């Protein structure tokens, strides 16, 4: 089964109903992983979105620093 076929299946998103280790994603209007998958973003872009999305509720400035670190790597691999 291809990724496109998986995306088109009418499967309820049970993963969105629970969160391991807090609720900093469940409180979002759009969960970061849904945004990441819907926009076909890669690992580095996904991590940037994840850390920026949660910094206020979870890691504070450290999460922003993590996002910058991933952004630095993204810039490196795209030069």
The domain limits of the chain are 40-79
Q: Which residue has the higher pLDDT, 35 or 2?
A: 35
Residue 1 predicted with pLDDT over 60: no
Taking only the tens place, the pLDDT of each residue in 20-78 is 767 777 777 788 888 999 999 999 999 999 999 999 999 899 999 999 999 999 999 99
Q: What is the pLDDT of residue 56?
A: 92
- Between residues 41 and 18, the one the model is more confident about: 41
| Measured CA angle at 74 (ends 69, 40), to 5 deg | 115
């Amino acid at each position: 089964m291809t990724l496109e076929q998986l995306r088109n299946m009418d499967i309820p998103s049970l993963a969105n109903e629970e969160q391991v280790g807090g609720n900093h994603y469940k409180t979002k209007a759009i969960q970061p992983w849904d945004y990441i998958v819907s926009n076909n973003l890669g690992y580095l872009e996904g991590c940037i979105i994840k850390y920026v999305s949660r910094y206020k509720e979870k890691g504070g400035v450290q999460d922003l620093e993590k996002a910058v670190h991933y952004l630095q790597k993204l810039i490196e691999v795209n030069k």
